[in-house]
Amino acid sequence: MAHTGQKLDRYTLHESINEGGMSEIWLATDETGRSFAVRVMKNNTAFAFAERKRFNSGAETLQACQDGQFIIGYVEHGKLGDEQVLVLEYVEGSNLKLLMAANDPVLTEDIARVLIDFASAMEVVHDRGFMHLDIKPENVLLTRNGSLRLVDFDLAQPIPNPPRKLDRLSGTPLYMAPEQLLKQPVDHRVDLWAWGVSAYELLTFKKPFPGENADEVLRRQVNRRDFVRPREVNADIPGELERIILKCLEQDMNRRYPIASVLVHEMKQALYV
């Protein structure tokens, strides 16, 4: 396990700033004093084949999706010292889940820009030929100056054509599309669904299809008797924005937007940005 003061090649680890099931993220500096976020894999034993493959695959996808604006910046990845690491740009800010919990004013004052930039980040990933498969507020950072960064590419996969079944059900059920939960063939349109769930949540502070487990979430998705339209929760939501969100939340993936760029275009038109 990594520790404070540990040196990994030219990086010195200073403090742990986040931790997930597979890795820890550390604030680090290089010899010039520049700050970076260094993601260190927790289980780096000789037999951690699956974890290492997933970690490196996510790093390679992130590297392929660099755009300098909406995607967290990639620096390098591989083995440094005894650790398997991914070095990222360091940004000061919070993820959208934490901002929601704090009722941060940015989610009311600048929500149009946040939603468009969020969709634009997803567009970058899709344009590079990948589906993210873990689109949710927790994986979107907002910097102090309001810049948005999509993070965590561990689950990302190349977009299949035609759609195909995933090898395993990975991610957060609350943001998974019905076809995912039913273990049916999927493609990048699962990300559009997840963006729709996230947008609904960011605008209403409620989940469109709440549930304690995947089965409960799926039941609510399929049987929509309890579904509440976003404008019934927040009357300030423009009607056109509600229409866009509901299109992303179509149960039949063929009725959602075909590609993220169409969603971004309609969002900009709807919100006059």
Tokens for 194, please give them: 């997840």
Domain 7-89 CATH class label: alpha beta
pLDDT digits (tens, 9 = 90+) for 180-194: 999 999 999 999 999
| 3-class DSSP assignment, residue 41 | strand
Average pLDDT over residues 58-67: 97
Sign of the C-alpha dihedral, residues 233, 249, 243, 262? Answer: positive
Q: Which residue has the higher pLDDT, 46 or 135?
A: 135
What is the separation, in whole angstroms, between the first and last Cα of the chain?
46
pLDDT digits (tens, 9 = 90+) for 216-236: 999 999 999 899 999 999 999
pLDDT at 74: 98
pLDDT digits (tens, 9 = 90+) for 142-164: 998 889 999 999 999 999 999 99
* Residue 249 to residue 17: CA distance in whole angstroms: 34
pLDDT at 144: 86
The DSSP output letter for 233 is H
Residue 273 has pLDDT above 80, yes or no: no
Asked if residue 37 lies in contact with residue 90, where contact means CB atoms within 8 angstroms, the answer is: yes
Assess whether the region 7-89 and the region 94-270 belong to the same CATH fold: no
Residue 1 has pLDDT above 80, yes or no: no
* Residue 135 to residue 192: CA distance in whole angstroms: 9
pTM recorded for the entire structure: 0.95
Query: Measured between alpha carbons, how far is residue 1 from residues 19, 54, 166, 238 in Å?
Result: 12, 19, 31, 49
Give the number of other CB atoms < 10 A from CB of residue 156.
Answer: 22
What percent of the chain stands above pLDDT 70? 100
Residue 46 has pLDDT above 80, yes or no: no
Which residue is it, tokens 């149960």? 251
Determine the angle formed by the axes of helices 189-204 and 239-248, rounding to 10 degrees. Answer: 140
pLDDT at 272: 80
Average pLDDT over residues 49-70: 94
Which sequence spans correspond to the domains of the chain?
7-89, 94-270
pLDDT at 45: 80
Asked if residue 83 lies in contact with residue 44, where contact means CB atoms within 8 angstroms, the answer is: yes
Average pLDDT over residues 29-50: 91
Query: Who's near 49: CB < 8 A, 6+ residues apart?
Result: none
Q: How confident is the model at residue 22 (pLDDT cuts 50, 70, 90)?
A: confident
- Assign a CATH topology to domain 94-270: Transferase(Phosphotransferase); domain 1 (1.10.510)
pLDDT at 61: 98
Query: Who's near 152: CB < 8 A, 6+ residues apart?
Result: 58, 134, 139
* Residue 12 to residue 32: CA distance in whole angstroms: 11
* Residue 194 to residue 257: CA distance in whole angstroms: 13
Q: State the chain's mean pLDDT as an integer.
A: 95
**Active-site residue flag, 134:** yes
Catalytic residue among 67, 82, 127, 134: 134
Which residue is it, tokens 């507020």? 137
